Structure 1
Amino acid sequence: MHAGAEAASINEFGQPIGAPVPDWERRSLPEATVITGRLVDLERLDPDRHAEDLFAAFAAAPDGRDWTYMPVGPFPSLDSYREWAIAAAGSRDPRHYAVVERASGRALGTFSLLRHDPANGAIEVGWVAFSPALQRTPASTEAQFLLMRYVFDRLGYRRYEWKCDSLNEPSRRAAERLGFAYEGTFRQAVVTKGRNRDTAWFALVDRDWPRVREGLERWLDPANFDEQGRQLRPLRTRA
């Protein structure tokens, strides 16, 4: 892992330039089919195995608000969801994963790695669709942690991005809670569902990852939860 530069260097022309990244080599594309955790496993999306569970989990929501800021959905039927899942499962970028609860074996949500840039060691997490059964649970935090750990510790990437509609406050709060830093807003970046979207950019870089990883591991420790599953200490990923 190569830490990013904290201060510029000066070249022979007196110009400020970025610090060297010695011995940098192109990283591998994400290829994992299963990433195993304590509460959940991340499995490469498979419509035959996951679509029915996922549609049932999403259908348990009282309304369609979870899809407002997504480019797809809500899905009115299992067939419509399966059609999307078949197309998503065939994609390599985005590379979609189902979040499978280990206790029940049910798929409760999906997310993906996308905009793969192995030459520069940058990648994005997105298409986050977590059902009500997964939202605001330790399992949802572990799912995000597992993908982050895979990107930084297994693949050796330098930069992990999170982007969302600038009006999507739950997504913005989730990014900040997980340790991502806000980097700015791209105005009129996307037209989605016939609406303008200004896109808020967040990122986590490798020099910050050890601190964020420690905070997530400490929070996810079973000793941090009481018998009712309530946290004893809040998650801290900031310095």
Structure 2
Amino acid sequence: MTGIYQINDAPVPNWTPPPVPDATTILTGQYATLEPLVADTHAALLYQPFVGHDHVWDFLPYGPFSSSAQYYRWIREIEMGEGTQFYAIKNHTSGAFEGVASFLRIAPEAGSIEVGHINFSPALQKTRAATEALYLMMGWAFEAGYRRFEWKCNAMNAGSRRAAQRLGFSYEGVFRQAAVVKGRNRDTAWFAAIDAEWPALKEAFGVWLNPANFDAQGRQNESLADMTRLVRVADDPTLAGS
């Protein structure tokens, strides 16, 4: 779907800023559990699924890490920082921690929050657990009272752009020369979903994640991208036909 967004200046009566996610928030679903990232608990377990897969760090401002000790030190720095809440993602099928994601650019006063630092090991990619992990984060944000849930990525990262659109984020454009990352220019593609879209997105995720949506070989019957197409107000033009 490609649409034209109508500028909205409607009143927001009785606005109350939502809470900030903290290190006590655990998100649990059918296929995945997200635990606040803790170096002592998760570093060694998370390091292993990424060994030999350095390409998964290509679009992140850090990594790859040459040892579990180096990865541990990075997580310790994250723990001591402020403004970002990282989660370790456990895949219920394997019973292993296989990925990381975070809330960042958390602005309760504006009702805006972003999902980012998404790094799924090959074992987690293209699984129901991977989709559900991001659904759980989206659900927490909107049900806590946030009005806007953002996704931003390197404009060169076609996989991330495709994932954002599949999950129901609407395309909002590209910020040119937004940053310098690992010595290279980064143009940043912006996507977002808003609270008015959440009920329809929640329904789409519920249908897709239902075990009945998959056959005996694990193949989907209904495509999530097809269902979220009805909700998105604008699609990424670079993904046309994909």
Asked if these proteins are the same fold (TM beyond 0.5), I'd say yes
When the two chains are superposed, the root-mean-square deviation of aligned CA atoms in Å is 1.5
1:24 maps to which residue? 15
Q: Is the 8 A contact 1:212 1:238 kept in 2?
A: no
Moved over 4 A (4+): 5-8
Q: Is the 8 A contact 1:40 1:99 kept in 2?
A: yes
Deviation at 1:193, TM superposition (A): 0.4
1:11 maps to which residue? none
Q: Which runs of 5+ in 1 are unaligned?
A: 9-17
Q: When you count helix as a share of all residues, which structure comes out higher?
A: 2
* Counterpart amino acid of residue 49 in structure 1: T
Once residues 98 and 90 of structure 1 are traced to their aligned partners in structure 2, the CA distance between those partners, rounded to angstroms, is: 16
Q: Which runs of 5+ in 2 are unaligned?
A: 231-242
Deviation at 1:91, TM superposition (A): 2.9
Picking from 133, 139, 150, the partner of 1:149 is 139
Pairing 1:80-119 to 2, within 5 Å after superposition: 80-119=70-109
CA displacement 1:91-146 (0-9 Å, x = unmatched):
34211000012344321000100011001100000000100000011110000000
Structure 2 SS opposite 1:26: coil
Structure 2 SS opposite 1:140: helix
Structure 1 SS opposite 2:185: strand
Once residues 79 and 168 of structure 1 are traced to their aligned partners in structure 2, the CA distance between those partners, rounded to angstroms, is: 28
1:126 maps to 2:132 = no
Larger radius of gyration: 1
Deviation at 1:90, TM superposition (A): 2.6
* Counterpart amino acid of residue 43 in structure 2: A
1:138 maps to 2:128 = yes
The two structures have a TM-score, normalised by structure 2, of 0.88
Picking from 195, 198, 202, the partner of 2:184 is 195
Pairing 1:36-75 to 2, within 5 Å after superposition: 36-61=28-53, 64-75=54-65
Identity of aligned residues (%): 48
Structure 2 SS opposite 1:208: helix
1:219 maps to which residue? 208
The two structures have a TM-score, normalised by structure 1, of 0.89
Q: Is the 8 A contact 2:17 2:145 kept in 1?
A: no
